[in-house]
Amino acid sequence: MPPTPQPDRRWLLLFLFAALLLGASHWRVSGQAAGLIPVARREPTPNLVLPQLNGGQWSLADHRGQVVLLNFWATWCEPCRDELPDLLAVIRQAGPRGLTAVGVSMDQGPSAPALVRQFAAQYRLPYPIAFPNATIGAAAQGIGVPTTVLLDRQGRRAKTYVGELDRVTLARDVATLLAEP
Residue 56 has pLDDT above 90, yes or no: yes
Supply the pLDDT for residue 28. 40
**Does a structural domain hold residue 2?**
no
Supply the pLDDT for residue 164. 95
- Mean pLDDT in residue range 13-17: 26
Supply the pLDDT for residue 34. 76
- CATH number of residue 174's parent domain: 3.40.30.10
Supply the pLDDT for residue 133. 86
**Does a structural domain hold residue 148?**
yes
**Does a structural domain hold residue 25?**
no
Supply the pLDDT for residue 21. 32
**Does a structural domain hold residue 131?**
yes
**Does a structural domain hold residue 14?**
no
Supply the pLDDT for residue 30. 39
**Does a structural domain hold residue 12?**
no
Domain that includes residue 93, residue range: 36-179
**Does a structural domain hold residue 55?**
yes
pTM: 0.79
- Mean pLDDT in residue range 140-157: 90
**Does a structural domain hold residue 13?**
no
Indicate the number of domains in the chain.
1
DSSP for 66-88? SEEEEEEE-TT-HHHHHHHHHHH
- Give, to the nearest 10 degrees, the angle between helix 9-33 and helix 167-179: 30
Supply the pLDDT for residue 13. 24
Residue 127 has pLDDT above 70, yes or no: yes
